Amino acid sequence: MNKPLFMHIVDRLSNEVQLFRQKKDGIGRLGLSTLQKCTTAIRVLAYGSAADTVDEYLRLGETTTRLSVEHFVDGIINLFGDEYLRRPTPDDLQRLLHIGELRGFPGMIGSIDCTLNDINVLERSHVFDDIINGQAPQVNFSVEGREYHLAYYLTDEAVRKDVERAFGYLQARFAIVKNPALFWDKIKIEKIMRACVILHNMRVENERDEYTQFDVSDFQQGEGYGGSHVDLNYSTDIPTNIANMMSVRTRIRDRQVH
């Protein structure tokens, strides 16, 4: 990540997490700085190194390093989780719709692993919960003159490679994700994984304006496609009751429409 993003994280942690505040000892000497502790935590996450490998470079002992990693992970989740693990906003959906339409798939909001083609897996998935509960924004698009009001995911065998590459990319950025988790219990492993995803999303959003994610000239907008957009007037405060939920489930499963 670039320096401004790193310093933003350091600043939030130093102000809101007790462990990362620099303190004085009994004779007035300054203790470890926020920069030392944050750098140590990120190095452990990024390189998957043991806790005692930074004792010479950053002058932290093994116990302090492990403590810094645990509090760093908790701090990232608590301070940034709501923003960077959120569901797509209407603006996010509109951007995804635009990308999908340029690629010839109006109404598509992303790719999904082909294992969800299995009806048994799909029945246990939460992927459509927001739609069934009436909490998802409505998406409108047309194909060959026919109007549709449900977005969709592109699902095939090739997409599975995309999903696996995404996880592989996360492993490449954070070696702790791929290395044996010998010193962490299940709860800490879950938190580490969640924090790494948040840090990845922070970095992607921070650098999004510096590069183009796709070359528009590579995609031809086919005939009959147009106008994929999020309906901002659609209310997502529909009361969740069994009648509404069954109605939406029936609409999602309508083979003739889809």
The 10s digit of each residue's pLDDT in 113-159 is: 666 666 777 777 777 888 888 788 888 998 888 888 888 888 766 65
Q: How far apart are CA 6 and CA 102, in angstroms?
A: 34
Beta-bridge partner residues of 225:
143
The 10s digit of each residue's pLDDT in 41-93 is: 988 888 877 766 666 666 777 788 888 899 999 999 999 999 998 888 888 88
Strands (E), the chain: 108-112, 138-143, 146-148, 152-155, 225-231
Q: How far apart are CA 207 and CA 3, in angstroms?
A: 12
Amino acid 176 reads: I
